[in-house]
Amino acid sequence: MPDKQMNRPHAIIVMGVSGCGKSSVGEKLAEALHLAFVEGDALHPAPNVEKMSKGIPLTDEDRMPWLDRIGDDIKASLEKGEGIIVSCSALKRLYRDRLRAAAGGNLFFVYLEGSRALLMKRMGERKGHFMPASLLDSQLATLEVPTDEPGVVTVDIDDSVEGITGTALKGLAILGVTA
């Protein structure tokens, strides 16, 4: 008997700290899986963007309305019978569990992991992003790696966007997520 969860549309969050490639990989995954992509950073309330652009780390209290908005978007998409991919740091298990609850359990995560040196290099190369490299250490300190959580694919980012996406797609296929 097929798993009912696999017969429904999928929601996927591409997660990790700033500079890991969530947006680039999320766009490629969306293209490969024929799903809509939502840039999670675009859903931050203005006060959050202002804080981060000043180098001030967000608190749990700051993040909750943002996570709820992402959760609402995921829920609405799934209720319409449409899959969705969202980029979201989802640094703590508490955040991921909140998103899982909003999605009704049909949520997968692609965790992009890399060394601090590689992340700093990538952050230094990007242009026009509000998140300064100075906040990377606070994100790494906040990060609760999703080891042993259900529905998580971990991908090392020391590769091209295409290579990272390919590895993520293989991991998602093992979980039953296919185009």
DSSP letters, 120-147, are HHHHHH--S-SS-GGGHHHHHHH----T
Q: What pLDDT does 1 receive?
A: 33
Q: pLDDT at residue 32 above 80? A: yes
Q: Which of 144, 130, 142 is nearest to 48 (CA)?
A: 130
Q: What pLDDT does 49 receive?
A: 85
* Cα separation, 144 vs 158, whole angstroms: 20
Is the whole model's pTM more than 0.85, yes or no? yes
pLDDT digit string, tens, across residues 100-156: 999 987 899 999 999 999 998 877 765 554 455 567 888 899 999 998 899 999 999
Mean local confidence (pLDDT), 26-48: 93
pLDDT digit string, tens, across residues 47-94: 988 888 887 888 899 999 999 999 999 999 999 999 999 999 999 999
Q: What pLDDT does 123 receive?
A: 73
Q: What pLDDT does 124 receive?
A: 73
The beta-strand segments (E) located in 76-121 are: 84-87, 107-113
Q: What pLDDT does 120 receive?
A: 84
Q: What pLDDT does 20 receive?
A: 92
**Alpha-carbon Rg for the chain in angstroms:** 15
